[in-house]
Chains A and B, each alone.
Chain A
Amino acid sequence: MSEKRKIRVLVAKPGLDGHDRGAKVVARALRDAGMEVIYTGLHQTPEQIAETALQEDVDVVGLSILSGAHLTLVPQVKKLLRERGMEEVLLLVGGIIPAEDEAVLKQEGAADAVFTPGTALENIISYIHENIGQLP
């Protein structure tokens, strides 16, 4: 008698830049795709993001970063998620990420996927559906 499992996504903006157009458009698109989106606003520290992911028991964490600090911030968020036993949570990154940095982030296992400007919203949605794995 269990209800259809809802996918829960944390959309967060770490770092100091305030460009939230992308984060908000993505949040809205995920909502319209039937997901529950927890939005924590701007200027979040990696600790705040990991702790929120834990309390909200999300399946996906989406980070939007346009300030160039991705190589510092993304691995830190991943590390803090791991420390909380949440290594299976999908970590997605959106923003201005040069290809070499994308490779670094994926190699280190920090990010599961990187979406650069021009990515279709549909691609993000279908990526989540395909990679969310077996939900309990």
Chain B
Amino acid sequence: METVQELMRGSRRALARLITLVENNDPRKEEIMERLFPHTGKAYLIGITGSPGAGKSSLVDRLLAEARQNGSTVGVIAVDPTSPFTGGAILGDRIRMQEHALDSGIFIRSMGTRGSLGGLSRAAREAVQVMDAFGKDLIIIETVGVGQSEIDIVGTADSTVVVLTPAGGDSVQTIKAGIMEIGDIFVVNKADLGGSERTVAEVSMMLDLKEEPGWRPPVLPVVALRGEGVAALWQALMEHRRYLQSGGLFESRRRERAGRELGELVEFLVKSRVWESIRTQISLDELIEAIALRRQDPYSAARELLRRINFPF
């Protein structure tokens, strides 16, 4: 595992290669992740989500400048959807961040949702761990907040920023359920457009209705294109971080995340091992045909399959 050693010595090329290996579920992946694990757990993870066109990439671009000014090194994972029909993707988020391409304190990686086996949340989480082991102080994951798996990814961040735009004629009520729950900070981007004050007020009202003790997510107007309000966002992020650390929430959140991760990994390992055995030992066609012709029910067929590979119940 030369590449892991190179990573430890600070090789950006090794960082890029290792992300590819974990993203592709390379056979060496488990070993890589085991060796990296002792070096992880130091980075602060920020999730940024919001609907397409909300200006997330521009916001990340501005946050990068802010983070660098404050002396942090940053890794970015920018996720764009993969076409379900062709499996291909155009990953164009980093176009907004290209001014930072030559800053050695910043590493940007684009990922497609790909959307097979284990899903995006696993791949993105592993990429985060590689960047963490590399020594990035701060890791930002940017996703389009449409699919559940994407909400899951940002949901695992230490601080999650939900980016909205002035709702125009629409009410904030139409904002996807699920996304309101995960936000630690809300940003109303393009605040120079009309209706932004109303959006800020409506989101604030919804948050006040929750009446939960502790952190009340701030709602911040921002104009990412001009950098307005970005310093305030940075302050809010740092404040949230202090809040988590002081109240012991940081540890409990991470514990929660570790539990979820463990569960997902077990599921993933079982699933992939089981299917591997099935594929190498049994031809499925017969069983499928039998079910399709309604000669056998799928429940007994599934049990029969597992029996045949000696799966212990």
Contacts and interface: CB of A to CB of B under 8 A. Distances in A.
Interface string A6-46: 10100000000000000000011011111111111100100
A47 interface: yes
Interface residues of B, number: 35
A48 B91 contact: no
Contacts of A51: 101-102
A55 interface: yes
Give the one of A2, A30, A86 with max B CB within 10 A.
Answer: A2
B244 interface: no
B112 A6 contact: yes
A39 B86 CA distance: 18
A109 to B, nearest CB: 20
Nearest to B88: A31
Interface in B17-32: 17, 19-21, 24-27
B13 A48 contact: no
Contacts, number: 94
Interface residues of A, number: 33
Contact of A3 (B19, B24, B82, B98): B24
A98 interface: no
Nearest to A45: B102
B94 interface: yes
Contacts of B91: 36-39
A99 interface: no
A1 B276 contact: yes
A116 interface: no
A85 interface: yes
B257 interface: no
B73 to A, nearest CB: 14
Given A1-B272, A51-B101, A51-B102, A37 B24 contact: no
B241 interface: no
Contacts of A31: 83, 86, 88-90
A5 interface: yes
Contacts of B102: 47-48, 51
A3 B25 contact: yes
13 contacts: A3-B24, A6-B87, A33-B86, A34-B86, A36-B91, A39-B95, A41-B95, A51-B102, A56-B16, A57-B20, A85-B13, A86-B13, A136-B21
